[in-house]
Amino acid sequence: MQYQVITEQQQLDEFVAAIADAKLLALDTEFMRRRTLYPEVALIQVYDGQSLALIDPLVDLDFSSFWQILKSDDTLKVLHSPSEDIEVFNNFAGFVPTPMFDTQFALQLLGEGNCVGFANMVKQILEIDIDKSESRTNWLQRPLTSKQLDYAASDVFHLLPCFHEIYKQISEKNLINIVLEESQLIIEKRSYELPDELLYQDIKNAWQLKPRDLATLQVLAPWRRRKAKNKNLALNFVLKEQNMVEIAKRRPTNLSSLRNVPGVEQMEVNRSGKEILNAIEQGKSIDIESCPEKLLRLIDYPQYKKAAKEISNQIKKVAMETDIPADVFASKKQINQLISWKWKHDDETRKLLLKPDLLKSWRWEYLQDVLSEWQ
């Protein structure tokens, strides 16, 4: 396995020229996510079947010509379980490479089960054991060790031959478009951001709160996200989710009482105490008539279990007819997403939300007859 490490502009320009006409690129990234909101990109791996490069994004390089290839509709980008890579590219490059083929989803579509890991895929298809010991090392250190570089290169080096075998089987079943559409769906979901006014509904245990408490939480949740973005801090390093719920319940009026809220850490008070108190005051100023309604969990709806079972059974019938695994059509989470979208929100709110997976793209093409009442 031969590869080059690119740290200079001339190297990148020459590599881009070498892969300019490639119809297929295996892609991967290495990144770190410690205390940050956004993943810190540390390496970009690219392989077209002949030229393999490890591009160092920590040096000052002009990526514009490389980005054009990743944006080209003429070049299929192959990744394995790309959800986090999508986020890396979104934040570092400002876009996501398309069209994209996710080998993990393709394996699921072929009936190989959910979430087949990269090492298991390589073992299964190529009969090669991969050493994963470097996966959790510090990718931001420089220089990277030869062991780290070999590991990073092997990811795309082995990905391409696995893809060829998977693509052959997917083609025989005429399922290529489903894989491509699913990748687009993942990109859409990873790029979507819940509007500020609805963010509180996603907070765990928010259902326990009364309307007046929810008014405070409705202010706290977007404040936390804004601060996390501005500081590039993971959300829970700004304010832990469970602490936010407790603060909304108790609505302390000063720093001393804020420190006494169970679970609240001194660091949270020192870093954001005054801002938290300000958010509490904003929540208190909301008229009771304008406070959010108490949130219901799906299990609080008497018909929930019956509806979920009916949807699941309908999907299983379609799965049998199409020879597509039922768990590819819909996980329990996706069924719940559909029911929540229909039952918990009015027409105006639904316009702000992502449409449920089951009501769009390839899934809807297969399921529209059995799920028409849910659209």
* H-helix or E-strand spanning residue 61: none
By the 8 A CB rule, do 24 and 76 touch?
Answer: yes
Q: Is 357 a catalytic residue?
A: no
By the 8 A CB rule, do 65 and 13 touch?
Answer: yes
Q: Residues near 71 by Cβ (< 8 Å), separated by ≥ 6?
A: 95, 97, 98
Q: Which of 141, 16, 26, 131 is nearest to 85 (CA)?
A: 26
Query: What's the rounded Cα separation, in Å, for the pair 341 and 346?
Result: 9
Local structure of residue 200 (DSSP, 8 states)? G
Q: Which of these is catalytic: 30, 48, 87, 102?
A: 30
Residue 198 backbone phi and psi in degrees, to 5: -110, -5
Q: Which of these is catalytic: 40, 85, 102, 268?
A: 85
- Structure tokens of 330? 């819909």
Q: Which of these is catalytic: 28, 48, 87, 213?
A: 28
Q: Which of these is catalytic: 40, 48, 87, 155?
A: 155
Cα atoms in the Cβ-side hemisphere of radius 13 Å centred on 199: 21
How many beta carbons lie within 10 A of that of residue 35, not counting itself?
A: 11
Q: Residues near 275 by Cβ (< 8 Å), separated by ≥ 6?
A: 223, 227
Q: Which of these is catalytic: 40, 47, 102, 151?
A: 151
Q: Is 155 a catalytic residue?
A: yes
Query: What's the rounded Cα separation, in Å, for the pair 15 and 19?
Result: 6
Cα 15 from chain centre: 30
Q: Is 151 a catalytic residue?
A: yes
3-state SS, residue 344? coil
Give catalytic residue positions.
Answer: 28, 30, 85, 151, 155
